[in-house]
Amino acid sequence: MKGSPLVVLFLTVFIDLLGFGIVLPLLPYYAEGFGAGPLAVTLLSSSYSLMQFLFAPVWGRLSDRVGRRPILVLSLAGSALSYLLFGLAGSLAALFATRLLAGVCAANISTAQAYIADVTTPETRAKGMGMIGAAFGLGFIFGPAVGGALSRYGYAVPAFFAAGLSLAALALALFRLPESLRRRIDNPGGAARGGFDLGRLWAALVHPRMGLLLLIFFCSVFAFANLEATFALFVERAARFGYTARETGYLFAYMGVLMSLMQGGLVGRLARRFGERRLVAAGTLMLAAGLGVVPLAPGLGGLMGALALLAFGVGMNTPSLSSLISRSAGADEQGGVLGVSQSMSSLARILGPAWGGFAFEQFGPASPYFTTAGLMGATFLVSLMLCRQAEGG
């Protein structure tokens, strides 16, 4: 009985995230049509992440009061509306409004996580939460490829297709997804989920091991979010590439496949052989190298090699850091630590694109990559401290 709602939830989340992936490679090209410069283009990504950051705890608290299913249904309806309006946008301001709405609705991931917690046992919860990670990975593979392929018909068509997908997910949630919450919580303040707690963040940062892990995690997400937001601008404007949304979508899908290969099986085997701390160091170094090579790539082959380094680096870093962060906290601190790491990720996804757009506009197309390559090089030195901590016991 528990498997059925989880399958329906997985399909619901996957279909919704597929819509996000479809829009990803189109956004810079679409915004440039309204006269947006690099900074404005990347602020579209930052605004989306900002709304996710602000509304994830709101949806979580509200779902404790009214149930998970109504929140998922409402947010999916909002996602469908945001994609429809995205396709109909007639100005840059309207485009920003659609991304703000999409970010509000995308904050439903906290509610999906709460749903999984409701219908799983402590022993099966990790597997259930892994379904959301799998949905993200598959959405990142298929979404950009579909968006790129449909972009030949104009940028509105992929957006309308994404709206249709959200409506399909809405129908699944309406007709096949049962309510998971057995007891409503009347005190929403006592049920906060994932809000930004400065005191808790500071306590985690000054923790000898936790602080290093969170610093590496923040820098890694910052650097990759910077790439996500600026990559289409770079391959469009570099004369040796001159790519459209179609080619950009295929390259994002290529990265998604490699990340999924790493996270789906390779990282577990590597962790057993070398240890998670060494994987973090290796992944961080690969991120630094990949970011540094992207602007130097002479052609498609070199670019794909750089993207492979990035994809494997992220695929190695993310699960290893998540595991180490979890193991650095006590059994009664897991929820708080999860909230802190989610907050760090959200802040990095707000600031990374903003920096990328600013650097691209002020210092040139290569600067977002060279600066974050330098950041990850410094982060690699921090990761070596983790390895020394392990050796020192």
Looking at per-residue confidence, does 362 or 207 come out higher?
A: 362
Assign domain 1-176 to its CATH superfamily. MFS general substrate transporter like domains (1.20.1250.20)
Residue 378: per-residue pLDDT: 97
Angle, CA 75 vertex, CA 73 and CA 77 arms, to 5°: 70
Residue 334: per-residue pLDDT: 57
In terms of Cβ atoms closer than 10 Å to its own Cβ (0-12, 13-18, 19+), residue 186 is exposed
Confidence of residue 329 (pLDDT cuts 50, 70, 90): low
Using one digit for the tens of pLDDT, what is the confidence trace for 60-94?
Answer: 888 888 888 999 999 999 999 999 999 999 999 99
Residue 191: per-residue pLDDT: 42
Residue 172 predicted with pLDDT over 50: yes
Could you check whether 1-176 and 198-393 share the same CATH topology?
Answer: yes
Residue 279 predicted with pLDDT over 60: yes
Tell me the whole-structure pTM to 2 decimals.
0.87
| Report for 105-109, 115-119, 252-256: range of highest mean pLDDT | 252-256
Confidence of residue 230 (pLDDT cuts 50, 70, 90): very high
Taking the C-alpha atoms of residue 231 and residue 47, their distance in angstroms, rounded to an integer, is: 18
> For 166-191, what is the mean pLDDT?
76
Residue 387: per-residue pLDDT: 79
In the chain, where the domains are located: 1-176, 198-393
Confidence of residue 14 (pLDDT cuts 50, 70, 90): confident
Report in angstroms the alpha-carbon separations of 207 from 8, 28, 201, 203, 360: 40, 40, 10, 6, 35
Residue 192: per-residue pLDDT: 42
Residue 68 tokens read as 């998970």
Using one digit for the tens of pLDDT, what is the confidence trace for 292-319?
Answer: 999 999 999 999 999 999 999 998 998 8
Own/partner pairs for 164-169, CB < 8 Å, 24+ apart?
A: 164/80, 165/15, 165/16, 165/18, 165/19, 165/22, 166/15, 166/16, 166/19, 166/76, 166/77, 166/79, 166/80, 166/83, 167/80, 168/15, 169/11, 169/12, 169/13, 169/15, 169/16, 169/76, 169/79
Residues 6+ apart with CB under 8 A from 341: 214, 217, 322, 325
Assign a CATH topology to domain 198-393: Growth Hormone; Chain: A; (1.20.1250)
Confidence of residue 393 (pLDDT cuts 50, 70, 90): very low
**Phi and psi angles of residue 185, each rounded to the nearest 5 degrees, phi first:** -105, 120
Q: Which of 48-57, 129-138, 174-183 has the lowest mean pLDDT?
A: 129-138
Using one digit for the tens of pLDDT, what is the confidence trace for 200-224?
Answer: 666 667 666 788 888 999 999 999 9
Average pLDDT of the chain?
A: 87
Confidence of residue 193 (pLDDT cuts 50, 70, 90): very low
